[in-house]
Structure 1
Amino acid sequence: MSNLSALRFFSTPAHACSYLEEQQATTLFVDPKTQISPRLYDELTRLGFRRSGDYLYRPHCQLCAACIPARVRAAEFSPRRAQRRILQRNAGLQVELIAPIFTQELYQLYSRYIEERHGDGDMFPPSQEQFASFLMSSWSDTRFCCFRDADGRLLAVAVIDVMQDGVSAVYTFYEPSLPELGLGTLAVLWQIDYCQQHQLPYVYLGYWIQNCRKMRYKSAFQPLEIFVEDRWQDAPLP
Structure 2
Amino acid sequence: MRHSLPLAPQFYVTAPQSCPYLEGRMERKLFTSLQGDQAVKLNDSLSKQGFRRSQNVLYRPSCSDCAACLSARIDVSLFQPSKSQRRTINRNAHLARTATSPWATEDQYSLFRRYLDRRHADGGMADMDVFEFAAMIEETPIRSRVVEYADPKGELTAVCLTDVLDDGLSMVYSFYEPDLPKQSLGSWMILDHVEIAREAGLPYVYLGYWVPGSPKMGYKAGFSGLEVYRHGRWQAMRAPEEYEADTHPLSTDPIAEQVANISLPDTRG
TM bin (shorter chain)? over 0.9
Q: Match of 1:38?
A: 40
Rg larger for: 2
Give SS of 2:224's match.
Answer: coil
**From 96, 114, 122, the counterpart of 1:120:** 122
Report the number of matched residues: 234
Distance of 2:35 and 2:183 partners within structure 1? 42
List, as ranges, runs of 4+ consecutive aligned residues in structure 1 with deviation greater than 6 Å: none
Q: Match of 2:50?
A: 48
Paired AA for residue 108 in structure 1: S
**From 226, 232, 236, the counterpart of 2:234:** 232
Say if 1:53 and 1:132, in contact at 8 Å, map to a contact too: no
Q: Match of 1:168?
A: 170
**Structure 2: gaps (5+ residues):** 1-6, 241-269
Q: Match of 2:245?
A: none
Say if 1:157 and 1:172, in contact at 8 Å, map to a contact too: yes
Distance of 1:136 and 1:236 partners within structure 2? 36
Q: Match of 1:111?
A: 113
**From 191, 194, 197, the counterpart of 2:193:** 191
Say if 1:36 and 1:139, in contact at 8 Å, map to a contact too: no
Distance of 2:140 and 2:91 partners within structure 1? 36
**From 154, 157, 160, the counterpart of 2:156:** 154
1:25 aligns with 2:22: no
Per-residue deviation, residues 70-98 of structure 1 (Å, max 9, x unmatched): 11001221110000001111111110001
Distance of 2:239 and 2:100 partners within structure 1? 35
Quickly say closer, same or farther: Cα 1:36–1:23, change in 2 above 3 A.
Answer: farther
- TM-score for the superposition, normalised by structure 1: 0.94
**Structure 1: gaps (5+ residues):** none
- TM-score for the superposition, normalised by structure 2: 0.83
Give SS of 2:46's match.
Answer: helix
Quickly say closer, same or farther: Cα 1:35–1:60, change in 2 above 3 A.
Answer: farther
Quickly say closer, same or farther: Cα 1:117–1:109, change in 2 above 3 A.
Answer: same
Give SS of 1:6's match.
Answer: coil
Deviation at 1:136, TM superposition (A): 3.0
Distance of 2:209 and 2:95 partners within structure 1? 28
Paired AA for residue 130 in structure 1: E
Distance of 2:67 and 2:159 partners within structure 1? 30
Deviation at 1:133, TM superposition (A): 2.6
Deviation at 1:38, TM superposition (A): 1.3
Give SS of 1:21's match.
Answer: coil
User: Aligned residues: percent identity?
Assistant: 39
Say if 2:34 and 2:43, in contact at 8 Å, map to a contact too: no
Distance of 1:135 and 1:52 partners within structure 2? 9
